[in-house]
Amino acid sequence: MKIVFFTVNLEGGGVERVISTLSSYFVLNKKCQITIITLQNSAQFYELPASVSVRNLKFGALCVGLGKILFMPLLAMELCLVLRRVKPDTTLSFLVRPNLIHLMTKWLGNSAKVFVSERCNVEYDFPIGSSRSFIMRGLIRLFYHKADSIIAISKGVKKSLESLGIPAKKITVIYNPQHIDYIREKSRENSQIQTPGKPFTIITVGRFYQQKDHETLLKAFEKIRRTLDAHLIIIGSGPMEKALRRRSKTLGISESVSWMPWQTNPFAIMAEASLFVLPSRYEGFGNVLVEAMVCGLPIVSTDCPSGPSEILSNGEHGILVPVGDSDAIARASLSILQNKALSEKMRTNGYQRADDFDVSVIGPKYLDVISP
């Protein structure tokens, strides 16, 4: 079967890892032929099988500012032409803009079935009150009905689509796949990065955007430091990095915080930590929670919409705390760090729970939906 994946780029991030994971699984286990089409010509962060073809849309360079919306019909025309050359059996797009462009091809003579993967909670990514949100919500209402099927990465994402009038019967919930054995293998490697020799190390991974709410984590860590000699490792990048570094200084914890850019193998570093904390205000799913469980880490996560409560089985496999509550994060973190029996129990339970998200379990569910 010939499959086309369509997305923004192949830089480091959750959707890019999912595409890499699915591509490897479909090529190696299902003997599929994969082509990835991107809006932007970017560096490839994750490994792909050698047989996977990567193309980028030439007009994707126009996707700047208002061009991201205004030139979507032009990009749909170009995508149509590329699809006619590739002649896939099925196509699946990821993220809102690629999904809209993909669905616009229906207007331009694309008679093939169109499948889209919705990864954001539209109620939070496009909050009421801004012109951009008004436009994007309108486009989602207009075009998502045209999809042959929509894959939502969590029940919360499905609910957010339903709030915009998208029929529930069009939406199938399939959690993000992970290559569990690969992550476990990588987690056993030498990290080649000297981690602080502290008895307690807390780690988090995520882009430096308001959504991820690193500031609340910094506040919580300052409170943890009053009780324990702990160290915090933050892996990520983004526009808020300088402001967050300044905030760590004003809190008096800068010498106890390590900032690391995106890593080709973050799992080896994660495996050396004592605890993983996710402070997000909202998520679509929360891939990094599964990755943390694979690495054998106990978890504290905000009970944000949407994903964490589903991954952690409503608190069975990690401690859920209110969004934006630094006191609650500090208390939950200390309860794990100061209780070895609880920590080991959570490590074991999470390690086992992670297998539910393996690509061997999730991959066939994707094929059930997108197969022609």
Query: Quick check: 359 and 25 in contact, CB under 8 A?
Result: yes
Residue 358: phi, psi to the nearest 5? -65, 145
Strand, helix or coil for residue 36: strand
**What is the DSSP pairing of strand 230-235 with strand 257-260?**
parallel
Q: What pLDDT score was predicted for residue 161?
A: 96
Count of C-beta atoms within a 10 Å radius of residue 281? 16
Q: Could you list the pLDDT tens digit for every one of the 372 residues in the chain?
A: 999 999 999 987 789 989 999 999 999 999 999 999 999 887 788 889 999 999 999 988 877 777 788 899 999 999 999 999 999 999 999 999 999 999 999 988 888 889 999 998 988 989 988 888 999 999 999 999 999 999 999 999 999 999 999 999 999 999 999 999 999 999 999 887 766 666 899 999 999 999 999 999 999 999 999 999 999 999 999 999 999 999 999 999 999 999 999 888 899 999 999 999 999 999 999 999 999 999 999 999 999 998 999 999 999 999 999 999 999 999 999 999 999 999 999 999 999 999 999 999 999 999 999 997
- Cβ-count burial 245-274 (b if 16+ within 10 Å, e if not): eebbeebebeebbbbbeebebbbbbbbbbb
Count of C-beta atoms within a 10 Å radius of residue 136? 20
Residue bearing tokens 């995520």 = 206
What is the residue type of 137?
R
Q: What pLDDT score was predicted for residue 197?
A: 64
> Was domain 181-356 assigned CATH 3.40.50.2000?
yes
Helix pair 287-294, 14-30: axis angle to 10 deg: 60
Distance CA 285, CA 176 (A): 8
The string of DSSP codes covering 76-121 is: HHHHHHHHHHH--SEEEEESHHHHHHHHHGGGGT--S-EEEEE-S-
Distance CA 117, CA 151 (A): 5
Distance CA 35, CA 107 (A): 23
Paired with 38 in beta bridges are 7, 56
Distance CA 170, CA 228 (A): 50
* 273 token code pair: 């930590």
Query: Quick check: 36 and 54 in contact, CB under 8 A?
Result: yes
Question: CA angle, corner 176, sides to 173 and 181, nearest 5?
Answer: 140
CATH superfamily of 2-173: Glycogen Phosphorylase B; (3.40.50.2000)
Spatial CA neighbour of 301 closest among 281, 274, 284: 281
Residue bearing tokens 């630094």 = 326
Q: What pLDDT score was predicted for residue 219?
A: 98
Kindly list the domain boundaries of the chain, sorted by start residue: 2-173, 181-356
Q: What pLDDT score was predicted for residue 60?
A: 84
Helix pair 131-143, 96-104: axis angle to 10 deg: 50
Same fold, 2-173 and 181-356: yes
pTM of the model: 0.90
Q: What pLDDT score was predicted for residue 372?
A: 78
